[in-house]
């Protein structure tokens, strides 16, 4: 929907921001570029937090005397919050200025980080993760919507290359940073490391960020919010329960089944509600974005890519630690080259997109992603760490060639008035797909390894066999992504904006 500027700004700052909602000109490009770079750095910091705790769960469980079921909630609660909050951001971005949303996001994230660093009990730490995730959920749609608003279509590939650094490198290097910290310090120092960076970004952003898009009094449908909370939250919770190893101790499979049924019904009601509301331009998440076949196929490819990335980020450390017996620092260092390569390639891929378009990048990227998963499907108890390093690098290169074209082509095919909704949909799909990929990989591993241990196989051999089968399933799914890559084309571009 096309938002109208608010007639009466609430304060002088908002009034100044509202005056800058007209299309940017060459004279304003420096301001818009500064806003984009601040958003990029801030988004990198908050997304880094999503995986930085992956190698610290064991230490936290020991310090707070909680079992694995409770410890897993530090990750599950984070994903649940993202899945619940992100769909709401589409409408919030139309009601509030860029500066207001930035301050809200970084305040929530910084507050959650401080609470986590000083948490006296496990429950407080879990609540802190929810607060952190609330800020994280705002940042990504805010960044994507701002880019689509101020960056010229012909230059979006280069800018989306920078976004790919945020999306791919931050989760990839999280375990590495955590491994380095844990090799010398306690787990709380992970949060103390992030906190000053987050506070600095909050202060700089509050000083320098200005509004770059129109805002207006767009109504929020409370029923849609409630349905999205139960729908997306229920599905992500159900996915997180698939790979749980303690289902017998926590009600068997019934909580998982109930979550899927309840969440699925709520999602159906949510979709029907949005189809009704979008006729009056009042939808919380406008589904007319899927009227573009380019956007729809890009979403599918993005889901497979995120599932592959996060599933691999979860399983490789498990394999390296439980099968190869490597310590956390060594594991983090082995995963570091792939993350760095994604970061180095992302700007180059963006420039290649601007020059050659979508398909010449997506097809080889999907092939490389699939090849890496097939390589990982061959792992065994005696696999060399260098083989894992090579496979991870191949996967990183493939994903680097996928993310930038998918973001750019997907959102570029959406009408401008749906940019905020498209950004929110992409963010939601990323979290649901990440949860699905993690759940699928861990579930297949468990289904394979548990019977082997019960028949006398060693834990090392059973885990290696289970992880190999999990990657084999992922590799088979990736073949569909290779086919889908041929159906994403470069969208027609129109309009003038400011390039970063």
* Domain range annotation of the chain: 12-485
**In the prediction, which pLDDT does 127 show?**
93
Contacts of 201 (CB under 8 A, 6+ apart): 38, 41, 42, 45, 106
Instruction: Report the alpha-carbon angle 138-143-148, nearest 5.
Output: 130
Dist CA 318 CA 426 (whole Å) = 28
396 close to 305: Cβ distance less than 8 angstroms: no
| CA distance to 108, 116, 357, 413, 457, per residue, from 194 (Å) | 14, 11, 37, 36, 42
Longest dimension (CA), the chain: 73
**In the prediction, which pLDDT does 372 show?**
93
Dist CA 275 CA 183 (whole Å) = 52
What would the CATH number be for the domain defined by 12-485?
1.20.1250.20
Dist CA 410 CA 295 (whole Å) = 4
* Burial category of 152 from C-beta neighbours within 10 Å (exposed 0-12, middle 13-18, buried 19 and up): middle
* Burial category of 461 from C-beta neighbours within 10 Å (exposed 0-12, middle 13-18, buried 19 and up): middle
Q: Where is 321: in which H helix or E strand?
A: none
Classify the phi-psi angles of 325: left when phi > 0, otherwise alpha if psi is within -120 to 50, otherwise beta: left
**In the prediction, which pLDDT does 251 show?**
58
Annotate 179-236 with DSSP letters as a single string: HHHHTTS-THHHHHHHHHHHHHHHHHHHHH----S--------HHHHHHHHHHHHHHH
**In the prediction, which pLDDT does 23 show?**
39
**In the prediction, which pLDDT does 428 show?**
78
Contacts of 233 (CB under 8 A, 6+ apart): 80, 83, 84, 263
**In the prediction, which pLDDT does 20 show?**
40
How many residues are recorded in the chain? 500
3-state secondary structure of 9: coil
**In the prediction, which pLDDT does 244 show?**
58
**In the prediction, which pLDDT does 121 show?**
92
One pLDDT digit (tens) per residue for the chain, 500 residues: 334 333 334 444 444 343 343 334 333 366 667 777 788 888 888 877 777 776 777 788 888 888 656 776 787 778 778 877 877 877 777 778 878 888 999 999 999 999 999 999 999 999 999 999 889 888 877 887 777 777 777 676 677 766 766 766 776 677 778 878 888 888 899 999 989 988 998 898 888 777 766 666 667 788 888 888 888 778 877 876 765 545 554 556 787 888 889 989 999 999 999 889 888 778 777 888 888 888 888 888 888 888 887 777 778 877 887 888 887 778 778 878 887 888 788 778 888 888 888 889 999 999 999 999 999 999 888 899 999 999 999 998 998 898 888 878 887 888 877 877 787 788 778 777 877 777 778 778 877 877 777 676 777 888 888 888 888 988 888 888 898 888 888 887 533 333 33
**In the prediction, which pLDDT does 21 show?**
38
**In the prediction, which pLDDT does 125 show?**
93
**In the prediction, which pLDDT does 493 show?**
53
């Amino acid at each position: 929907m096309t938002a109208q500027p608010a007639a009466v700004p609430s304060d002088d700052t908002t009034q100044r921001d509202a005056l800058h909602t007209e299309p940017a000109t060459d004279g304003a490009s420096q301001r818009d570029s500064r806003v984009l770079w601040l958003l990029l750095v801030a988004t990198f910091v908050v997304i880094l937090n999503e995986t930085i705790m992956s190698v610290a769960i064991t230490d936290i469980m020991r310090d707070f005397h909680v079992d694995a079921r409770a410890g897993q909630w530090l990750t599950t609660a984070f994903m649940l919050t993202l899945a619940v909050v992100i769909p709401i951001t589409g409408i919030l971005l139309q009601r509030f200025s860029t500066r207001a949303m930035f301050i809200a996001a970084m305040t929530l994230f910084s507050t959650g980080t401080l609470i986590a660093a000083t948490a006296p009990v496990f429950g407080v730490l879990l609540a802190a993760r929810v607060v952190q995730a609330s800020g994280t959920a705002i940042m990504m749609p805010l960044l994507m919507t701002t880019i689509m608003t101020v960056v010229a279509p012909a230059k979006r590939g280069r800018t989306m290359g920078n976004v790919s650094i945020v999306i791919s490198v931050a989760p990839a290097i999280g375990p590495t940073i955590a491994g380095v910290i844990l090799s010398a310090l306690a787990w709380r120092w992970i949060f103390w490391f992030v906190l000053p960076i987050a506070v600095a970004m909050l202060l700089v952003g509050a000083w320098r960020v200005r509004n770059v898009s129109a805002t207006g009094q767009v109504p929020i449908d409370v029923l849609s919010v409630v349905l999205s909370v139960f729908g997306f939250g229920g599905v992500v919770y159900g996915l997180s329960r698939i790979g749980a190893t303690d289902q017998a101790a926590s009600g068997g499979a019934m909580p998982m089944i109930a979550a899927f049924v309840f969440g699925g019904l709520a999602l159906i009601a949510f979709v029907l509600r949005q189809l009704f509301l979008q006729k009056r331009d009042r939808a919380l998440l406008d589904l007319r974005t899927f009227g573009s076949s380019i956007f729809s196929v890009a979403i599918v490819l993005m889901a497979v890519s995120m599932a592959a990335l996060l599933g691999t980020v979860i399983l490789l450390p498990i394999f390296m630690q439980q099968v190869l017996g490597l310590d956390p620092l060594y594991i983090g260092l082995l995963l570091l080259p792939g993350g760095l390569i994604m970061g180095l390639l992302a700007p180059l891929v963006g420039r290649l997109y601007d020059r050659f378009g979508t398909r010449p990048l997506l097809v080889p990227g999907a092939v490389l992603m699939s090849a890496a998963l097939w390589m990982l499907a061959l792992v065994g108890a005696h696999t060399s760490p260098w083989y894992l390093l090579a496979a991870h690098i191949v996967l990183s290169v493939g994903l680097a060639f996928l993310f930038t074209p998918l973001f750019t082509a997907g959102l570029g095919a959406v009408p401008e008035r749906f940019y905020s909704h498209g950004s929110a949909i992409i963010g939601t799909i990323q979290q649901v797909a990440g949860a699905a990929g993690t759940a699928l990989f861990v579930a297949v591993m468990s289904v394979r390894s548990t019977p082997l241990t019960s028949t006398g196989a060693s834990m090392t051999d059973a885990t290696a066999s289970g992880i190999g089968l999990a990657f084999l399933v992922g590799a088979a799914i990736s073949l569909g992504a290779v086919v889908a890559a041929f159906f994403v084309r470069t969208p027609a571009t129109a309009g003038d904006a400011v390039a970063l």
